Amino acid sequence: SKGGVLDRGYVGHYTRTAQAGQAGNFALAGHRNTHGEPFRRIDRLRSGDRITVETRDAVYTYTVGKRLARTAPSDSGVIAPVPRSNITTSAGYSEPGYYLTLTTCTPEFSSRYRLVVWGQLTAMRPR
């Protein structure tokens, strides 16, 4: 729940989405203002930037490919197994893959919209 994870400064994993390194969409949410600000600079991520996710068993590298600067909080398509906006249908992907989705509120200090960053798995190494 939001109060149990996000408001304590952690990044939250959307239930019913893939785990890191699995086929589908590994989708995460985090605050960019207050509550630890884990996604403080998410708006600076650009195509080609790398995001590293570490688990107990492996280190995964995702490469940023696409962004959606603003969508409605109800746009559940952005965290679908093949992530694609239900509102801005040109935003997202159309083929199955190994995806990472990061979501946060936008504009800053508001929860009116969501900013979305998508990446694809490009490397994995065991720990």
* Catalytic member of 84, 114, 125, 127: 114
Could you tell me if residue 81 is inside a domain?
A: no
**pLDDT > 80? residue 10:** no
To the query of whether residue 56 is one of the catalytic residues in this protein, the response is: no
* Catalytic member of 105, 112, 125, 127: 105
Task: Summarize the confidence of residues 98-113 as an average pLDDT.
Answer: 92
Provide long-range contacts, Cβ within 8 A and 24+ apart, for 43-48: 43/106, 43/115, 45/102, 45/117
Task: Summarize the confidence of residues 72-86 as an average pLDDT.
Answer: 97
What is the DSSP annotation of 17-85? SPPTTSSEEEEEE--SSSTT-TTTTGGG--TT-EEEEE-SSEEEEEEEEEEEEEE-TT-GGGGSSS-B-
Cβ proximity of 79 and 27 under 8 Å: yes
Could you tell me if residue 100 is inside a domain?
A: no
96 to 14, 24, 41, 103, 116: CA distances (angstroms): 18, 7, 28, 20, 18
Cβ proximity of 81 and 96 under 8 Å: yes
Could you tell me if residue 53 is inside a domain?
A: yes
Task: Summarize the confidence of residues 82-96 as an average pLDDT.
Answer: 97
Could you tell me if residue 41 is inside a domain?
A: yes
Task: Summarize the confidence of residues 79-87 as an average pLDDT.
Answer: 98
- Residue ranges making up the domain that contains 70: 6-75+86-95+110-126
* Catalytic member of 31, 44, 50, 127: 31
To the query of whether residue 114 is one of the catalytic residues in this protein, the response is: yes
| Stretch among 5-9, 32-36, 96-100 having the lowest mean pLDDT | 5-9
CATH number of the domain within which 121 lies: 2.40.260.10
Reference 114, options 95, 80, 87, 81; nearest CA is 87
Q: What is the mean pLDDT of the chain?
A: 91
To the query of whether residue 31 is one of the catalytic residues in this protein, the response is: yes
pLDDT at 86 (0 to 100): 96
Could you tell me if residue 66 is inside a domain?
A: yes
Could you tell me if residue 80 is inside a domain?
A: no
Q: How many domains does the chain have?
A: 1
